[in-house]
Amino acid sequence: MKMLAALISGTLFGVGLTVSGMINPAKVIGFLDVAGNWDPTLAFVMGGALLVTGPIVPLILRQPRPVLATEFHMPTKTTLDAPLLGGAVLFGVGWGLSGFCPGPAVAALVPALLGGLPAVFVFTASMVAGMFLYGLLTRNPSRNVSGKRSAGSSIPSEARS
């Protein structure tokens, strides 16, 4: 059931990115080009996502547990550190240079397979290689992909109100 929910959610997310044009790197680069020919459509996509997410997340966190899990897993880190800031800078530079971030890149694989933008394959392969390299270099046991418990901690019900 969890896999089916993930598949449906991911597909819906990919369709939303495609319909909104966010899998087109030129649209994203146009948004980032505030000094030139600025394209504000990405701001509207983000705003629409916030309008939906903003009111619903507090309602979800008031529930005793998620629908398809035994507990909520939330980040416990509350401070900014060099790895977080470095990762944010690396993400931003990569996004600005390529016009892709992970979600839209994966969603763009489908049209790319049908003869669309071949650069998406280079970006996605580089992204996967970077994740693999990070895993090798850090060997962080709290980050696993086997489906076992992750580093997040559950939130007691009294803290979610």
How many Å apart are CA 62 and CA 83, to the nearest integer? Answer: 31
How many Å apart are CA 105 and CA 100, to the nearest integer? Answer: 6
What is the span of the domain harbouring residue 59?
Answer: 2-160
Residue 144, pLDDT > 60, answer: no
Q: According to the model, what pLDDT value does residue 147 have?
A: 45
Residue 141: band (very low, low, confident or very high) from pLDDT cuts 50, 70, 90: low
Mean pLDDT over residues 21-30, rounded?
88
The DSSP H or E segment spanning 2 is helix 2-19
Please count the structural domains in the chain.
Answer: 1
Residue-wise pLDDT tens digits, 35-88: 988 999 989 989 999 999 999 999 999 999 998 889 999 888 889 999 889 989
Mean pLDDT over residues 136-160, rounded?
54
Residue 140: band (very low, low, confident or very high) from pLDDT cuts 50, 70, 90: low
Q: Count the Cβ atoms, other than its own, within 10 Å of residue 44.
A: 11
Residue 146, pLDDT > 60, answer: no
Q: Tell me if 112 sits within 8 A of 120, measured CB to CB.
A: yes
Please provide the average confidence, as pLDDT, over all residues in the chain. Answer: 84
Q: According to the model, what pLDDT value does residue 148 have?
A: 46
28 contact partners, CB below 8 Å, separation of at least 6: 22, 42, 95, 99, 100, 101, 104
